[in-house]
Amino acid sequence: LTLRTEPHYVLGIDIGGTKLAVGIVSPEGRLVSEVRTPTLVREGPDRVIRQLLDLCDGALVQSGLLRSQVVAAGVGCGGPLDPITGVVMEPPNLPGWVDVPLVARLSDRLQIPVSLDNDANAAALGEHRFGAGRGIANMIYLTISTGVGGGVITDGRLYQGENGNAGEIGHMGVVLGGRTCGCGGQGCLEAYASGTSIAGRVREAIAGGRTSMMPELAGSLEQITAETVLAALRAGDALAREIWEETLDLLGMGVANVISIFNPRRVVLGGGITNFGDLLFPPLRERALRRVMAPLAAVVDIVPAELGSTVGILGAAAVALAAREASELVNVVYK
């Protein structure tokens, strides 16, 4: 048995359609350094990969660590992608990226193991390891912003499914023949609960003749966002209340469905919707828990995420750490 004396750090690489962020993270989740830059998305994957490699260099220099102290890298990126082959397939937020072998490209240059997962799964791993899910074996993560993403942790590990696409909680059907979703399906949770869909339903209702303070609050009908709905809700607007109640009902149904399948100890909710605070959590708990059987309701809580704006980098770092642990386990078993 050998004991490690020096800590081993990992790179967390967060690829978004508008910004790139890279940080160096300790095994305990301390962010040692952090660099960000706007994504040159229109210049294509080769240029963005060069940007990422420059950011990795920048994060290393800023950290003051030796290159040899950074032992692995994890990447969180918009899907669809294949975490097993490390190929990014064709994410809507990265136009021009078609079947990009991102893991091969990065590990070739960085000379360390690189692992990849979609941004919601990465965030689930990050919250589980460093945030609101610490010490919890069975956890569901749900992020609600412009879209709805999710990740499922069972027995302390990310549940990946047959080809790495498990946890697409946003595309669970909640309304038969309902609104069309970005995925092409109908009645998905995302088509009701995402910030975009909440604002869209408000705009449709007003265009259909409903009166509300929201166009004036936002400046115009087109400028209404989920934040406008929150402000109008606090000011007692009847339409905002109606749309929000419907959102809570459907979100409660969706959360109850995942609780019924996975029997988690905790549901962690992240993303912009958590700004609704007490207008969200107590009524959502009530609506979700009354739909599940008593033994399931008895052990689960529904709480806000904890990592905030660092979730991208810390989630990617958690992808690297999980892959590292899995490979060490393989070595123990087979060597």
Q: How many CB atoms lie within 10 A of CB 244?
A: 22
Minimal distance, residue 71 CB to Zn ion, in Å = 38
Q: What angle do CA 257, 267, 176 make, to 5 degrees?
A: 25
Cβ closest to Zn ion, residue 171 vs residue 266: 171
Find, among 309, 290, 315, the residue nearest to 300 by Cα.
Answer: 290
Strand 139-144 and strand 266-270: pairing? parallel
Least Cβ distance, residue 175 to Zn ion (angstroms): 11
Between 109 and 179, CB nearer to Zn ion: 179
Q: Where are the alpha helices (DSSP H) in the chain?
A: 44-63, 102-110, 119-130, 190-193, 195-207, 214-218, 226-234, 238-262, 281-289, 294-299, 311-334
* 8 Å CB contact between 140 and 264: yes
- Closest approach, Cβ 150 to Zn ion, in A, equals 12
Q: How many residues bind Zn ion (CB under 5 A)?
A: 5
Residue 215 contacts Zn ion per CB under 5 A: no
* Segment lying near Zn ion (by CB under 5 A), choices 59-67, 182-190, 259-267, 276-284: 182-190
- Piece in contact with Zn ion (CB under 5 A), picked from 76-84, 154-162, 187-195, 313-321: 187-195
Within residues 106-165, the interface with Zn ion by CB under 5 A covers none
Q: Who contacts 26 (Cβ-Cβ below 8 Å, separation ≥6)?
A: 7, 9, 32
Does 187 contact Zn ion by CB under 5 A?
Answer: no
Query: CA-based angle 160:309:27, to the nearest 5?
Result: 60
d(CA 320, CA 325): 9
Which residue lies nearer to Zn ion by CB, 188 or 248?
188
CB 255 within 8 A of CB 284: yes
First to last CA, the chain: 14
CB count within 10 Å of CB 110 equals 20
CB atoms within 10 A of CB 143: 25
| Cβ proximity to Zn ion, 137 vs 183, nearer residue | 183
If binding is defined by CB under 5 A, does position 181 make contact with Zn ion? yes
Nearer to Zn ion, 70 or 181 (CB): 181
CA–CA gap between residue 81 and residue 117 (Å, rounded): 7
Q: Closer to Zn ion at the Cβ: 74 or 79?
A: 79
The residue to which tokens 């207008």 are assigned? 279
Which residue number, 11 or 273, has a Cβ lying nearer to Zn ion?
273
Q: Which of 128, 129, 171, 285 binds Zn ion (CB under 5 A)?
A: 171
The minimum distance between CB 187 and Zn ion, in angstroms, equals 8
Among residues 32, 52, 56, 188, the one that binds Zn ion under rule CB under 5 A? 188
d(CA 74, CA 13): 6
- Of 173 and 304, nearer to Zn ion (C-beta) is 173
Task: Reduce the DSSP state of residue 324 to 3 states and report it.
Answer: helix
Residue 177 or residue 208: which is nearer to Zn ion going by CB?
A: 177
Contact window for Zn ion (CB under 5 A) among 22-30, 159-167, 177-185, 193-201: 177-185
User: Least CB distance from residue 174 to Zn ion, whole Å?
Assistant: 10
List 178, 185, 200, 283, residue binding Zn ion (CB under 5 A): 185
Q: Which of 5, 3, 8, 6 is nearest to 26 (CA)?
A: 8
Among 183, 217, 221, 279, binds Zn ion (CB under 5 A): 183
| Contact footprint for Zn ion (CB under 5 A) | 171, 181, 183, 185, 188
